[in-house]
Amino acid sequence: MIISIASGKGGTGKTTVAVNMALSLKDVQILDCDVEEPNVHVLLQPKINETKPVYLSTPLIDEEKCNRCGKCSDFCEYNALFVTPEKVLFFPQLCHSCGGCMLVCPKNAITEKNVEIGMVKTGVAEGVELVFGELNVGEPMPVPVIKAVKKQIESNKTVIIDSPPGASCPVVESVSGSDYCLLVSEPTPFGLHDLKIMVQVLEGLKTPFGVIINRAGIGDKKTYDFCEEKGLPILLEIPFQRKIAGLYSRGIPFVVNMPEWKRKFQSLMDDIEGLMKC
């Protein structure tokens, strides 16, 4: 089963849930798809076994063959190419590597070159296999790195995906293909606002989901009221507790020092499997 952890709002506790859940289950693989700011490895401290570069294919224009017909520019939906009477201008930050410009060029003046945009690293910690991506500084598109991370999914394991914040393309790519999604929220106006957005995203993707309330005990009851109104199951509440916050501040997953929470995350997994059978 592939379980993704999302929230919309940053800082709600996605990584906290993902890491503690992974440490509570057996035969688990955890994928950190927040490739702009991966931090699962900070908590797990894995031994890195392998590092692979991620490449993006971009067009390479042969100016001698090019007749400036403009068909490549007309085809590009993202305006990554602009044809002038003297030369073709290429804007790599806008390119989505579809390869269409190469196909429509009547003079075969366009080939592809690979540009490194990030890395995928794999490691093991506490019996948990970790895969995480790192987007190079200055690169604008995390999705290709997220796809490279997800290519490492092992179908014979329970896979936990730690998604990036927000509700845009990187989140959609991270969540797509999941059997179930856990939405981590907090009982605050900001938490509720982004929870509503992610509910719309997952309804569009037709991905079944439930809610985890982190920092329970602060804020108000509006998040609970929304879940009741929408019929969303609240599968777990993590209290706003000094001990949990203190452990996190030292980079220690709280199930390590609070073993009773391992049973709660195991029960959470049982609940998810029960919901999937309904």
CB-based contacts of 188, cutoff 8 Å, min separation 6: 218, 219, 220, 223
DSSP character string of 69-127: --HHHHH-TT--EEE-SS-EEE-GGG-----HHHHH-TT--EEEEEEEEEEEEEEEETT
Decide: 74 and 131 in contact? Cβ < 8 Å: no
Among residues of the chain, what percentage have pLDDT more than 70?
Answer: 100
Model-level pTM?
Answer: 0.93
Q: Which pairs with CB-CB distance under 8 Å and at least 24 residues apart come from 226-232?
A: 226/192, 226/195, 226/196, 230/199, 232/199
Mean pLDDT for 241-264 is 96
Residue range 165-198, pLDDT digits in tens: 999 999 999 999 999 999 999 999 999 999 999 9
pLDDT surpasses 90 at 278: no
Residue range 159-168, pLDDT digits in tens: 999 999 999 9
Domains of the chain: 2-54+118-277 (3.40.50.300), 63-108 (3.30.70.20)
The pLDDT confidence band at residue 277, using thresholds 50, 70 and 90, is confident
